[in-house]
Structure 1
């Protein structure tokens, strides 16, 4: 298995390759037949299998997307059986290629999308999906680490734990976590209710920060308090595989980059050990 992450034309591109000890025609059927896709693909698929054909995705246990208005439809952009299938899923583009090898074939995925912070989740999820594909075809995939362990590995590989420093000096972290937002908030708050006008619980404060009283709070999604000549804002929402955390500090935020990084990574580590 190989994975790489790049940026092209302002979009994120994930490339993955997997060698399979199965003939290309068998893998092609698993890639294009909805009955076969049901054994390994992350959604149920309805497809008009032709160039410009419509494709639709549904989740058997209900909605499974953190986008406020998700688009679970697409269109086939390239179709060359049994070698190439490319289609859209909302704004995402998935390109699947099957290449014969001496002992089977190589299956390649190129996924193009906008939400770079989800890349560790997507990579980990596809690894587990391709394990399921190999098993469904009669293969003997090596057991993988738990999803959360894979996720944190790729966060580090892709550098998704690093913040952005905006032109005005604002420090901004966007971090996908593997625990649900209610649990993440509870850990940050130490199980206490957060009240406007009180000092924020210690879990929301990095080392070296002198917080003022909570200015805004909406549990479990938003907390704002003053710090120095700026403010700290925490937001949590449902993300891809767990809570999506966005933390910003205006003012002298860049001075506290290391402290915020350590706090967030400690929080992420707790999510791994508890899931």
Structure 2
């Protein structure tokens, strides 16, 4: 297995390679026939299997008419059986390539998308799908791995735990956007210590990194946002769990390096403990 992440023309490109002990023609059927896709692909697929053919994705638990959502439809952009299949899923582009390799083949998925913080969840999810694909084809698959540890492995591998520091003429702003493998309600409960923050009260300790003096709570909307002085927490549903956006603004006279490290450590502790 080989996974890489890079930026290309302002978008994020995830590339996953896997050798399968199956001939390209056999894997090609698994990539293109709806009855076989149903055993491993993350959505139900309807497709007109030709160049420029329509492709649509739906979910068994989805809303009525979900396949008509433009985010869940696309067209086949490249079609060269049994070697190449490329299509878009809304704004995401999925490119599948098969190369013969001895008695099997190497399958490469290149996924191009805009939501870089979701790259670890996409990777963890696709690897689970690949294991199901291999099992469906008669292979051994992989030993099951829980989603959360796999997700956190790729957060670290791809550097998705890093934040940014930007500066203006008067201040700096630290910003982290971090995907978690746990729901936002669970993250909020961990941060709040089980109590409801209220304006004018001190911020719950879970929301405060070591060495930071946040000031009292100014705004709160449980379980999605909390503002305390120069610090803002925002939580929403992301891909596979909570998406947390944390910002902290300070004067240029103060060095942002220490608060940056403190916030980074707090977010990683949330991943481990929440």
Q: TM-score, normalised by structure 2?
A: 0.93
User: Match for residue 154 of structure 1?
Assistant: 154
Kept in 2: contact 1:178–1:241 (CA 8 A) = yes
**Aligned residue number for residue 118 of structure 1:** 118
Cα offset for 1:129?
0.4
In structure 1, the partner of 2:231 is: 232
Residue 265 of structure 1 is matched in structure 2 by: 268
Deviation at 1:211, TM superposition (A): 2.0
* 1:191 and 2:205 are equivalent in the alignment: no
Partner of 1:41: 41
Cα distance per residue 1:155-188 (max 9 Å; x no partner): 1110111101123320000100011001110110
Give 3-state SS (helix, strand or coil) of 1:76's partner: strand
Q: CA separation in 1, counterparts of 2:142 and 2:237? A: 31
Unaligned runs of at least 5 residues, structure 1? 64-68
- The runs of 5 or more residues in structure 2 that have no matched partner are 64-68
Counterpart residue number, 2:141: 141
Shift of 1:241: 0.4
Cα RMSD for the two superposed structures: 1.3
For each residue in 1:98-135, what CA deviation from the matched residue of structure 2 results, as whole angstroms up to 9, or x when unmatched?
A: 11111211111011111100011011111110000000
| Segments ≥4 residues shifted beyond 6 Å | none
* Equivalent residue, structure 2, for 1:26: 26
> In the superposition, relative to structure 1, how do residues 107 and 4 fare at CA in structure 2: closer, same or farther (>3 Å)?
same
Alignment: residue pair count = 262
Q: 172-181 vs 160-169, which deviates more?
A: 160-169
**Counterparts of 2:49 and 2:166, CA distance in 1:** 45
Query: Does the CA-based 8 Å contact 1:12-1:116 persist in structure 2?
Result: yes
CA distance in 1, matches of 2:7, 2:167: 21
1:66 aligned partner: none
Matched position secondary structure for 1:52:
coil
The offset of 1:61, in angstroms, is 2.1
Separation (CA, whole Å) in 1 of partners of 2:38 and 2:112: 23
1:129 matched to which residue of 2?
A: 129
